[in-house]
C-alpha cells in the first residue's frame, strides 16, 4: 500500500488550497433551508415587480416595471446553475424540480447544461477545450459590451436548442455528452420548446399579454442584470492555466446581489471546490482566504478592471488581470504574460 497517488486525475494539475479534510467535508454538507430562503427572496421580489407590472398597465410606468421584473427574472440563472451541480438542496426531487423550472426560465435544457458545465469545471478557461468559454484573450470591447447586455446570448442559445430539438448533436458536443445522453438532450430541447410554444399560443389564442409581459419581454429587457454578474466570472483573466485564482474572478457583493446570484460572487472558491454548496461558500472563503488573492471589491470594480485590461490588451495582447498570490503557483504559464 502506498500514500502516493497512482494516477493523474483531472484535478491533479490544478492548484488546491491547504484545508483540513474534516472542515472541507463539513462544508460539503447539503441542506434545504438556505436554497428555499434564497428562492423565497427571489419569489417575493418577482411577485412585487409583477404587481408593479399589473398596476402600471396603460401607463408609462409599465416600461420600468417590466425591466425591473425582467432583471429579477434573469437571476433564474443562479438556481439553475446550482441545481445543475446538484448542490442546491439536500432533497433530490426538490433539486431536480427547481432545476427544471429555473432552466426553463433561463433558457437552457437541464441535461445539456449539466454536461457542458461539468466540462467547463474540468477545463476551466482553457481555450478551445472549455465548452463554455466563448471568447479568448485579447478581449474586444464589443465582446464585453455584448456580454454585459446579454441580448447577444439569446440567439446562439435559441439556435442550440432548435438544433437539439431537431435531433442534431455536433461532434464538439459529443466530447462532453456521453452517447446515452444525446437522446435525453434532444427530448429535453423538444420539451422546452414545446413549453415556450404553449406560452406563445396562450398569448395568441387567448388574446392576452400575460405571457409576453410576465415572461418573454422582461426576459429580454432585464437580461443585462444577471449578465453583468456572469461576465465578471472569467473575462480578462488568465487563460490556459491550472490555477482558479488566476483564471477566475471573485468579487464582493452586497446582500441582495449575493442572494440573487446565489453566492456565485465567491467564484474562485466555487471552482476550486464545486462540491461545496452555495450557502457554504462564505465559510469556505473564511477557511482559505489567506491563500486567495483579494476579490474585486464590487461589481463595478470588477467591470472597471475588465475594461482596463481590455484597453491594455490593445497595446499588449498578453495583458491580463493581475492577481497577487499568497503562495507559489503550481502551474504558471501566465507568468510570462504582462499583468495590468
Partner 1 sequence: MWVPLCATSTIPDDDVLEVIREGHVYCAYRIGGRHYATDGICTHAVARLAEGFVLDDIIECPMHNGRFHIPTGRVDGPPACEPLRTYPVRIDGPMLQIELPD
The DSSP line for 23-66 is HHHHHT---SHHHHHHHHHHHHHHHHHHHHHHHHTTSTTHHHHH
Instruction: Provide the CA 266 distance to its chain's centre, in angstroms.
Output: 12
Q: At residue 8, what are phi and psi to the nearest 5 degrees?
A: -85, 125
Q: How far is the CB of 75 from partner 1 (least distance, A)?
A: 22
Given the rule CB under 8 A, which of 6-14, 34-42, 208-216, 222-230 is the region that contacts partner 1? 6-14
Size of the site for partner 1 (CB under 8 A): 32
**Which span (24-32, 157-165, 220-228, 291-299) binds partner 1, by CB under 8 A?**
24-32
User: CA separation (Å) from 260 to 40, 46, 193, 212, 227?
Assistant: 10, 11, 26, 23, 12
Q: Which one among 18, 93, 171, 178 touches partner 1, defined by CB under 8 A? A: 178
Phi and psi of 146, rounded to 5°? Answer: -60, -40
Site for partner 1 (CB under 8 A): which residue of 31, 41, 62, 121? Answer: 121
Q: Give whichever of 95 and 233 is closer to partner 1, judged by the CB atom.
A: 95
Site string for partner 1, 179-218 (x = CB under 8 A): -xx-------------------------------------
Collapsing DSSP to helix, strand or coil, 85 comes out as helix
Answer yes or no whether residue 20 interacts with partner 1 by CB under 8 A: no
Q: Does 3 bind partner 1 (CB under 8 A)?
A: yes
In the complex with partner 1, which residue's Cβ is closer, 177 or 225? 177
Among positions 122, 132, 252, 291, the unique one binding partner 1 when judged by CB under 8 A = 122
Residue 93 contacts partner 1 per CB under 8 A: no
Select 67 or 177, whichever has its Cβ closest to partner 1. 177
Q: Could you tell me the smallest distance in angstroms from the CB atom of residue 317 to partner 1?
A: 32
What is the smallest separation between the CB atom of 3 and partner 1, expressed in angstroms? 7
315 binds partner 1 (CB under 8 A): no
By CB under 8 A, the residues from 27 to 56 that bind partner 1 are: 28-30
Q: Spell out, one character per residue from 247 to 286, where the chain touches partner 1: x when CB under 8 A holds, - when not.
A: --------------------------xxx-----------
64 binds partner 1 (CB under 8 A): no
| Closest distance of CB 123 from partner 1, Å | 10
C-alpha distances in Å from residue 206, one per residue of 80, 191, 192: 30, 21, 21
Q: By CB under 8 A, is residue 92 in contact with partner 1?
A: yes
**Part of the chain binding partner 1 (CB under 8 A), chosen from 113-121, 205-213, 224-232, 313-321:** 113-121
Contact region for partner 1 (CB under 8 A) — 71-79, 108-116, 137-145, 258-266? 108-116
Instruction: Give the nearer residue to partner 1 in terms of CB position, either 19 or 200.
Output: 19
> What residues make contact with partner 1 under the rule CB under 8 A?
1-11, 25, 28-30, 85-87, 90, 92, 111, 114-115, 118, 121-122, 178, 180-181, 273-275
Amino acid at each position: 500500500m502506498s500514500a502516493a497517488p497512482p494516477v493523474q486525475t483531472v484535478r491533479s494539475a490544478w492548484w488546491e488550497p491547504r484545508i483540513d479534510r474534516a472542515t472541507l467535508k463539513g462544508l460539503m454538507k447539503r441542506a434545504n433551508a438556505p436554497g428555499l430562503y434564497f428562492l423565497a427572496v427571489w419569489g417575493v421580489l418577482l411577485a412585487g415587480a409583477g404587481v408593479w407590472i399589473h398596476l402600471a398597465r396603460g401607463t408609462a410606468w409599465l416600461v420600468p416595471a417590466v425591466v425591473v421584473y425582467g432583471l429579477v427574472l434573469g437571476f433564474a440563472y443562479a438556481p439553475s446553475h446550482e441545481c445543475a451541480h446538484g448542490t442546491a438542496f439536500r432533497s433530490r426531487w426538490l433539486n431536480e424540480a427547481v432545476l427544471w423550472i429555473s432552466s426553463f426560465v433561463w433558457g437552457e435544457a437541464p441535461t445539456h447544461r449539466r454536461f457542458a458545465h461539468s466540462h467547463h469545471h474540468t477545463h476551466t478557461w482553457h481555450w478551445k477545450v472549455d465548452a463554455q468559454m466563448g471568447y479568448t484573450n485579447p478581449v474586444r470591447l464589443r465582446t464585453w459590451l455584448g456580454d454585459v447586455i446579454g441580448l447577444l446570448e439569446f440567439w446562439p442559445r435559441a439556435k442550440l436548442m432548435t438544433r437539439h430539438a431537431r435531433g442534431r448533436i455536433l461532434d464538439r458536443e459529443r466530447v462532453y455528452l456521453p452517447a446515452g445522453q444525446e437522446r435525453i438532450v434532444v427530448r429535453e430541447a423538444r420539451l422546452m420548446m414545446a413549453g415556450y410554444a404553449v406560452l406563445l399560443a396562450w398569448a395568441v389564442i387567448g388574446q392576452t399579454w400575460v405571457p409576453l409581459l410576465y415572461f418573454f419581454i422582461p426576459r429580454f429587457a432585464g437580461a443585462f442584470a444577471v449578465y453583468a454578474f456572469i461576465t465578471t466570472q472569467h473575462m480578462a483573466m488568465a487563460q490556459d492555466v491550472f490555477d482558479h485564482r488566476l483564471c477566475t474572478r471573485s468579487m464582493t457583493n452586497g446582500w441582495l446581489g449575493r442572494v440573487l446570484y446565489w453566492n456565485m460572487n465567491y467564484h474562485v472558491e466555487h471552482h476550486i471546490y464545486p462540491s461545496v454548496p452555495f450557502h457554504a461558500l462564505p465559510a469556505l472563503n473564511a477557511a482559505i482566504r489567506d491563500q486567495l488573492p483579494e476579490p474585486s471589491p464590487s461589481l463595478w470594480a470588477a467591470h472597471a478592471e475588465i475594461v482596463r485590461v481590455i484597453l491594455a490588451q490593445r497595446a499588449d495582447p498578453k495583458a491580463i488581470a493581475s492577481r497577487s498570490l499568497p503562495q507559489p503557483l503550481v502551474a504558471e504559464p501566465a507568468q510570462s504574460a504582462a499583468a495590468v
